[in-house]
Amino acid sequence: MTRRSRFLSVWLICGLGFLYAPIALVVAMSFNAAPMMTVWSGASLRWYVQLWHSPALMEAAARSLGIAAASATLATLLGGAAGIALARAGAFRGRALFEGLIAVPLVLPDLLIGLALLLLFIALEAVTGWPSGRGVTTIILAHATASLAFVAITVRARLAGLDDTLEQAAADLGATPLIVLRRITLPLIAPALAAGWLLAFTLSLDDVVIASFTGGPGATTLPMVIFSSMRLGPTPVLNALATLILALVAGLLLAAWKIAPVAARGTRD
Amino acid sequence: MRWLLGPSWVWLLLFVAAPAAILAGIGLLNPADTVPPLAGPIGLGGYGGLADPFYLRACLGSLAVAAVTAALCLLLGYPMALAIARSARRRLLLLLVMVPFWSGILLRLIAWIGIFRDEGLLNSALRALHLSAEPVPLLHSDATMLVGMVYCYLPFLILPLEARLATADRRLEQAAADLGAGPWQVFRRVTFPLSLPGVRAGLALVAIPVSGEYVIPELLGAAGTPLIGRVIWDEFFQSGDWPQAAALATTLLAGVLLPAALLQRRRPR
């Protein structure tokens, strides 16, 4: 082993330590019987029990899971269609604008997405009467908008790696476009769609800023509850919650990675 | 496959293009006590207030934080990316970098609050070592905020950079070494220049979201630090001055989209 590669390995290990030490700390503290981080008084599940008996947190968690599932599904439908079109439609009118609009939510800070969509909902309500007030529905629409680009890019990348001979062959044999889509294209991109759905789900479950803007009274999501109690000072119950969510997300990410490595790479590159 | 474009077009125009236009437009109005708190006439509106030194300071402060965070991420992340790109266990190491990336920004900040707070890990270590009898106020400071920013955004730098490093042609380095270049010279003259597109993409992916970050400064930063994300939030939610918030947000939008568009143009397809 050369001196340079040893330096790189040590640096990498330290870097991963920096990324994982705080996470390990939270997981360890969630099983600590003492409420303080600085005292270890034995292993205990008391914070998990207390979490189970916190109606505000559990209710927000259920709401957030619902929002995440709905917005991920919507983002997958829209982003999937956009991804297929981008990979297979060739040149079409306004393609540059289309690609630009798809990419915009990828680069914008959440704050801008949230504020702009809130103003849209208010303007829409003033003109058409819909949506009357804001709540779960508007959060779902906003989250779907923020994450559909991830699905589109994942699907596009998957299709770009496959030439369209299968689709051509099916069409030559008399399949209508709808049958080509259903029997050929969709099965080909199924892994990308699944991975995209999982990523959209994760993004929604982690968002506090967009939901704060586009939500309304009675639509408090789990990250919003966590955020406001973190401002006051985190409680040990949050360590337990963090550990559970971490396990969920790591599991989902592992699944996405198994299904389609390119998707889990974030496609932000 | 063009018919697939229809729904995506509608969605993108309604939920991406229209909100941006409304956001820019509301900046032209004036605040009022009505619901929604907007009044005519159309004029300079919130844009007129942008010259206020307070907003200027917030913009410059955000730029500085974005630049420093991106630079720190590059310093810490470049050797990590290089080590991963050269490793035989690339896929596993990438997954290790990605798990924190997707595992929830709030939950990872809980750990840092626990480390930095008055009765937290660092302060009790200082007390145990008799370095300080009184708790040192570590939590709400610029340094703590930067630690949180680097911690949360490091993977954004590593992923695109690693992708670039892994695809670079190793034979060029070999050739340089054969021609008598030392390891440092090989890095400076071959490896680093070849990785520049990845460096650029990584820096942008860190600096852009950091410039509009709200959650991290709010939880870890000093109370009064004016940053553009916090100022927009406060103008909107606390002061209720929508035109001012919209004008600031439009400025941030332009500041984010222009460099992103330039970067996209420079990237070879």
Number of domains forming the structure of chain A: 1
Give the model's pLDDT for residue B269. 42
Chain B residues whose CB is inside 8 A of the A20 CB are 96, 100
Q: Which of A157-161, A175-179, A258-262 has the lowest mean pLDDT?
A: A258-262
**DSSP conformation class of A32:** B
Task: Mark yes or no for CB contact A245/B105 under 8 Å.
Answer: no
Chain B residues whose CB is inside 8 A of the A233 CB are 113, 117
Distances (CA, A) of B265 to A87, A93, B253, B261: 20, 20, 18, 6
A179 and B CB contact within 8 Å: no
Task: Mark yes or no for CB contact A37/B120 under 8 Å.
Answer: yes
A51 and B CB contact within 8 Å: no
Residue A190 within any structural domain of the chain: yes
Q: CA nearest B196: which of B227, B161, B224?
A: B161
B31: three-class secondary structure by DSSP:
strand
Residue A76 within any structural domain of the chain: yes
Structural domain of A180: 54-264
Q: CA nearest B151: which of B222, B103, B84?
A: B103
Average per-residue pLDDT for chain A = 87
Domains detected in chain B = 2-266 (1.10.3720.10)
Q: Which residues contact B43 (CB under 8 A, 6 or more apart)?
A: B28, B30
How close is the nearest chain A Cα to the Cα of B161, in Å? 8
Residue in A with minimal Cα distance to B200: A269
* Of residues B235 and B267, more confidently modeled: B235
* Euclidean distance between the first and the last CA atom of chain A, given in angstroms as a whole number: 31
Give the model's pLDDT for residue A266. 44
Residue A230 region by backbone torsions, left for phi larger than 0, else alpha for psi between -120 and 50, else beta: alpha
How many angstroms separate the CA atoms of A32 and A55, rounded? Answer: 22
CATH, residue A134:
1.10.3720.10
Task: Tokens 């520049």: give the residue.
Answer: B196
Model-level ipTM above the cut of 0.90 = no
B153 and A CB contact within 8 Å: no
Q: Above 90 in pLDDT, residue A254?
A: no
Chain B residues whose CB is inside 8 A of the A98 CB are 5, 8-9, 12
Q: Which of A146-155, B1-10, B240-249 has the lowest mean pLDDT?
A: B1-10
Chain B residues whose CB is inside 8 A of the A234 CB are 110, 113-114
pLDDT tens readout for residues A91-104: 888 888 998 898 88
Residue A8 within any structural domain of the chain: no
Residue A204 within any structural domain of the chain: yes
A29 and B CB contact within 8 Å: yes
Q: CA nearest A200: which of A19, A20, A62, A78?
A: A78
Residue A17 within any structural domain of the chain: no
Residue A199 within any structural domain of the chain: yes
Across A173-177, A193-197, B19-23, the highest mean pLDDT is recorded for B19-23
Residue A3 within any structural domain of the chain: no
Q: CA nearest A79: which of B11, B159, B137?
A: B11
* Euclidean distance between the first and the last CA atom of chain B, given in angstroms as a whole number: 23
Give the model's pLDDT for residue A261. 57
pLDDT band at B1 (very low <50, low <70, confident <90, very high): low
B24 and A CB contact within 8 Å: no
The token pair at B70 is 């991106």
Distances (CA, A) of A127 to A81, A124, A201: 29, 5, 31
Average per-residue pLDDT for chain B = 88
A16 and B CB contact within 8 Å: yes
Burial of A142 (0-12, 13-18, 19+ CB in 10 A): buried
A215 and B CB contact within 8 Å: no
Residue in A with minimal Cα distance to B184: A4
A245 and B CB contact within 8 Å: yes
B2, B3, B5: best mutation site toward chain A, by most A Cβ within 10 Å?
A: B5
Residue A1 within any structural domain of the chain: no
How many angstroms separate the CA atoms of B161 and A269, rounded? Answer: 8
Burial A102-119 (b: 16+ CB within 10 A, else e): bbbbbbbbbbbbbbbbbb
Q: Between B105-116 and B121-128, two packed helices, what is the crossing angle to 10 degrees?
A: 20
* Of residues B67 and A236, more confidently modeled: B67
Q: Above 90 in pLDDT, residue B49?
A: no
